[in-house]
Amino acid sequence: MSFNVTRYLTFEISHTCDLAASHPWCPVSHPDRYKFGDRIYNLNDRIILDFYRWCKFTHGFRGIILWHQYNEPIHQLPRIRNLMAEMKRIDPHQPFQLTTNSRPDVEGFDIVHFTDYSNPNTLHDDRILNADGEGLPYSDLRLRQGMSHRGLQWEIPIDNHGNWCLCCADWRCEQSVGNIFTDNWEMLYARFDERSRSIRWSDEQTYNSLPRLCRACLHVTPNLHRTGSVF
């Protein structure tokens, strides 16, 4: 595996959101956020740029830099713009995406995903509930097509403390492969590679061998594995 098929390298540029108190379905302020991960450091610009270079030049990343996860990144906009300028010096063709609840007309990004919470038709998922349970029995499962585009090669999610999470639904770092501040990146890559190959399912036996988090998530947020919900 290499990162040349990976769509997103995602950085959680902070750990706060201005709508946290209004959205009980979002894990951003949940007491178990980062429960199984390290919380020693916060992402700094140097490690973001160094990790970006490593992903790009060592393992062939050519996807989109995404400023997102459970925070509201627009409050870090000057910092993000500085980081984007540095990344553009490294690769003038590097694309960027911003996911925000603030406003839809932010300039300087190739893609802006605006989540309009004032719209009553905005859908929310309940991935906060994937902290519990073992998932449905295989016979009751609605999805029977394995891990779809939300499989592990879709995204490299780095949270605000540097934990390399399994996916965007791994808000407690339950299946994190490690931390980019404290662990060797090649070792993290090897773990990520191994999991990207092993977390697949096509029948009852392989479904039952998935990590608890994956089975619980398939139960709680089945549409996440097809279309990607919002928070």
Annotate 109-134 with b (16+ C-beta within 10 A) or e (fewer): beebeebeeeeeeeeebebbebbeee
| Residue range 181-197: mean pLDDT, rounded | 92
| Residue range 180-187: mean pLDDT, rounded | 98
Q: Select the more confidently predicted residue: 29 or 173.
A: 173
Q: Which pair of tokens denotes residue 120?
A: 């009553």
The contacts of residue 128 (CB under 8 Å, 6+ apart) are 24, 25, 26, 27, 30, 171
> Mean pLDDT score of the chain, rounded to an integer?
87
- Confidence at residue 146, expressed as pLDDT on a 0 to 100 scale: 52
Torsion of CA 103, 105, 107, 112, to 10 degrees: 70
- Confidence at residue 225, expressed as pLDDT on a 0 to 100 scale: 59
**Long-range CB pairs of 175-184, under 8 A, 24+ apart, other chains included:** 175/211, 175/213, 175/214, 176/36, 176/37, 179/37, 179/38, 180/47, 180/51, 181/38, 181/40, 181/41, 181/47, 182/38, 182/40
Work out the percent of the chain whose per-residue pLDDT is above 90.
56
- Based on its alpha-carbon atoms, the radius of gyration of the chain, rounded to whole angstroms, reads 17
| Residue range 155-182: mean pLDDT, rounded | 95
Question: CA nearest 179: which of 194, 157, 199?
Answer: 157
Question: CA nearest 96: which of 84, 105, 82?
Answer: 84
In angstroms, rounded to a whole number, what is the distance separating the alpha carbons of residues 92 and 46?
19
User: Considering the entire predicted model, what is its pTM?
Assistant: 0.89
Residue 230 has pLDDT above 60, yes or no: no
- Confidence at residue 143, expressed as pLDDT on a 0 to 100 scale: 60
What are the extents of the domains in the chain?
3-124+152-201
Q: Which pair of tokens denotes residue 192?
A: 């990520």
The contacts of residue 188 (CB under 8 Å, 6+ apart) are 164, 177, 178, 180
- Confidence at residue 33, expressed as pLDDT on a 0 to 100 scale: 93
| Residue range 161-165: mean pLDDT, rounded | 97
Which regions of the chain does DSSP assign to beta strands (E)? 8-11, 64-67, 96-100, 111-114, 155-158, 163-164, 178-179
Question: CA nearest 17: which of 102, 81, 92?
Answer: 102
For the domain 3-124+152-201, what is the CATH code? Answer: 3.20.20.70
| Residue range 180-198: mean pLDDT, rounded | 92
- Confidence at residue 63, expressed as pLDDT on a 0 to 100 scale: 96
The contacts of residue 73 (CB under 8 Å, 6+ apart) are 13, 14, 67, 80, 98, 99, 100
